[in-house]
C-alpha cells in the first residue's frame, strides 16, 4: 500500500464523511411520484405514489431516503423480496414493479450520467443475485470518450 493509502486507512474510523447537500434532492425518492404526477404515462417513468400503491398489485415499496437497497419490499401480488435497514420512518414511495434484465440468474441495473455541456459521460452496471440491488451488488464502471 502507498504512503497516502496508509494514511487514509489509518484515519478511516475517525473520518467524518459528508455528502453534498444537493445530492439529497437527486437521491430523494419522493421525486418519483412528483415526476409521475407532472408527466403521467411518460415512457421513461414508472407509475409512483406517496399515499400507497393505489390500484397497483405489482410494485416496490421504497423508503424516501433509503440507500443501497435498504428497507425495500418487492410485491408481485404477494411479497417476494424484502431487505432490512435503518430507513422508513420518513415514509415510503410505491412504484410500479419493472422487471430487471437477468443473465445466468443475476439481475443487472444500468445507471448513466450525463454532463450538460459535454454529453454522455459514463455508465455503471450494478449486478445482484436477487431482485433487490443492494450494497453487496457488484459494480462495473464504464467511462465514455
Q: What is the pLDDT of residues 4-15, one digit of tens each?
A: 778 777 877 888
Instruction: Name the residue range of residue 144's domain.
Output: 100-145
pLDDT given for residue 116 in this prediction? 81
Look up residue 15 and give its DSSP letter. Answer: P
Same domain as 74, residue 113: no
The half-sphere exposure of 116 on its side-chain side, counting CA atoms within 13 A, is: 0
Same domain as 139, residue 79: no
pTM over 0.85: no
* Nearest residue to 101 (alpha-carbon basis) of 119, 125, 79: 125
Same domain as 83, residue 12: yes
Contact in structure between 66 and 72 (CB atoms under 8 Å): yes
Which stretch of 15-19, 41-45, 51-55, 58-62 has the lowest confidence by average pLDDT?
A: 15-19
Same domain as 37, residue 1: yes
Same domain as 106, residue 35: no
Tally of structural domains, the chain: 2
Average pLDDT, the chain: 89
Same domain as 52, residue 9: yes
* Nearest residue to 29 (alpha-carbon basis) of 58, 1, 71, 57: 71
Q: Pick the more confident residue, 70 or 118.
A: 70
pLDDT given for residue 54 in this prediction? 98
**What is the residue whose three cell numbers read 444537493?**
22
Same domain as 136, residue 68: no
CA-to-CA distance for 92 and 104, rounded, in angstroms? 32
**What is the residue whose three cell numbers read 431487505?**
83
Same domain as 136, residue 121: yes
Contacts of 99 (CB under 8 A, 6+ apart): none
Which stretch of 25-34, 88-97, 108-117 has the lowest confidence by average pLDDT?
A: 108-117
Q: Is 61 a residue whose pLDDT tops 80? A: yes
Same domain as 111, residue 57: no
Same domain as 86, residue 44: yes
Rounded to the nearest 5°, which phi and psi values hold at 21?
Answer: -60, -40
Q: What is the average pLDDT across 36-50? A: 97
Same domain as 138, residue 84: no
- With a pLDDT cut of 90, the percent of the chain lying above it is 53
Element (H, E) at 42: none
pLDDT band at 72 (very low <50, low <70, confident <90, very high): very high
Same domain as 92, residue 23: yes
Q: Cell numbers of 6, please?
A: 496508509
Amino acid at each position: 500500500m502507498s504512503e497516502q493509502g496508509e494514511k487514509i486507512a489509518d484515519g478511516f474510523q475517525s473520518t467524518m464523511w459528508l455528502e453534498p447537500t444537493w445530492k439529497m434532492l437527486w437521491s430523494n425518492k419522493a421525486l418519483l411520484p412528483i415526476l409521475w404526477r407532472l408527466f403521467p404515462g411518460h415512457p421513461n417513468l414508472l407509475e409512483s405514489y406517496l399515499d400507497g400503491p393505489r390500484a397497483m398489485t405489482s410494485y416496490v415499496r421504497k423508503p424516501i431516503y433509503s440507500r443501497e437497497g435498504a428497507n425495500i419490499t418487492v410485491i408481485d401480488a404477494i411479497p417476494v423480496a424484502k431487505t432490512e435497514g435503518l430507513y422508513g420512518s420518513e415514509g415510503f414511495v410505491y412504484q410500479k414493479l419493472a422487471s430487471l434484465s437477468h443473465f445466468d440468474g443475476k439481475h443487472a441495473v444500468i445507471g448513466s450520467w450525463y454532463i450538460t455541456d459535454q454529453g454522455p459521460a459514463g455508465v455503471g452496471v450494478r449486478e445482484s443475485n436477487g431482485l433487490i440491488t443492494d450494497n453487496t451488488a457488484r459494480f462495473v464502471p464504464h467511462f465514455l470518450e
